[in-house]
Amino acid sequence: MNRIGKLYFRYGTMGSAKTALLLNTAYYCEERGMHYKCLKPVIDTRDCTNVIKSRIGIERECDWIYHDTDLYNYSRELFEKTGKMVDWFLIDEAQFLTAEQVDQLSRVVDDFGCNVICYGLRTDFQSRLFEGSRRLFEIADTIDEVKSTCTCGHKTIVNARIDANGDFVNEGAQVEIGGDERYIAVCRKCWRNKRIEQSYRDILPFIYPG
């Protein structure tokens, strides 16, 4: 095949409209008669709808990526089944891909000439890279940041996990099933300051009891 594709990584924090961008790209493909496919890693099996949905109400159907899905085989089988190679694979929540699946996607690009755009978070609530994001930073052809702004005006960097009181949570599993309302995107400085503030507040009653 002579087509030349690219592996893209578009990363940002939560609430930075990555999903809306994905859906925009899907629309763009439809308008131009290009063959595209939306995909999403499955984290929560209770969330049983195979659609990608943005907060402004647009949605598109997608296929699920399971933890053990071989994306290279998946693409080849899709081609054999439909007789048509996908021009654009649009992948939401790409941080949840395994490193292996990102490698498989790179082979889909190199062997079949497909374009693959991965939209996802850079880091988790402890500011550490997700596995899929790490691999994408390592091997993607093109990397773009989807920016959004903290309440203080700086660029958001960290997806802070919050508890019922709105306090930042420092420990826990990297992936926790729950709604987006459990997270807030903040800049690095606000992330640090709030945690310092919280630790003082938690310690003070012991230093000055009563």
**Measured from the CB atom, is 136 or 187 closer to Zn ion?**
187
φ, ψ dihedrals at 113, nearest 5°:
75, 20
Question: Is 157 an interacting residue with respect to Zn ion (CB under 5 A)?
Answer: no
- In 92-209 the beta strands, taken as DSSP E runs, fall at 115-121, 142-145, 158-161, 183-186
Kindly state the tokens that stand for 48: 């049983």
**Minimum distance between the CB of residue 13 and Zn ion, rounded to whole angstroms?**
11
Binding residues for Zn ion, rule CB under 5 A, total: 5
Packed helices 99-112 and 131-139: angle between N→C axes, nearest 10 degrees: 40
Tell me which amino acid residue 151 is: T
Kindly state the tokens that stand for 145: 């940041």
**Minimum distance between the CB of residue 201 and Zn ion, rounded to whole angstroms?**
19
**Measured from the CB atom, is 115 or 156 closer to Zn ion?**
156
| Span 121-150, contacts to Zn ion by CB under 5 A | 150
| Span 167-206, contacts to Zn ion by CB under 5 A | 187, 190
Q: Which residues pair with 145 in a beta bridge?
A: 11
**Minimum distance between the CB of residue 210 and Zn ion, rounded to whole angstroms?**
34
**Minimum distance between the CB of residue 153 and Zn ion, rounded to whole angstroms?**
7
Report how far residue 133's alpha carbon sits from residue 10's, in angstroms, rounded to the nearest whole number: 10
**Minimum distance between the CB of residue 190 and Zn ion, rounded to whole angstroms?**
3
**Measured from the CB atom, is 105 or 184 closer to Zn ion?**
184
**DSSP-derived pairing of the beta strands 88-91 and 36-41:** parallel
Interaction mask 48-67, Zn ion, x per CB under 5 A: --------------------
Q: Which residue in 152, 196, 203, 204 binds Zn ion (CB under 5 A)?
A: 152
**Measured from the CB atom, is 65 or 160 closer to Zn ion?**
160
Half-sphere exposure of 190 (CA within 13 A, CB side): 18
Whole-number Cα distances in Å, 46 to 31, 50, 51, 56, 121: 33, 11, 13, 22, 22
Residues recognised as catalytic = 93
Question: Is 154 an interacting residue with respect to Zn ion (CB under 5 A)?
Answer: yes
**Measured from the CB atom, is 69 or 159 closer to Zn ion?**
159
Which residues of the shown chain bind Zn ion in the complex (CB under 5 A)?
Answer: 150, 152, 154, 187, 190
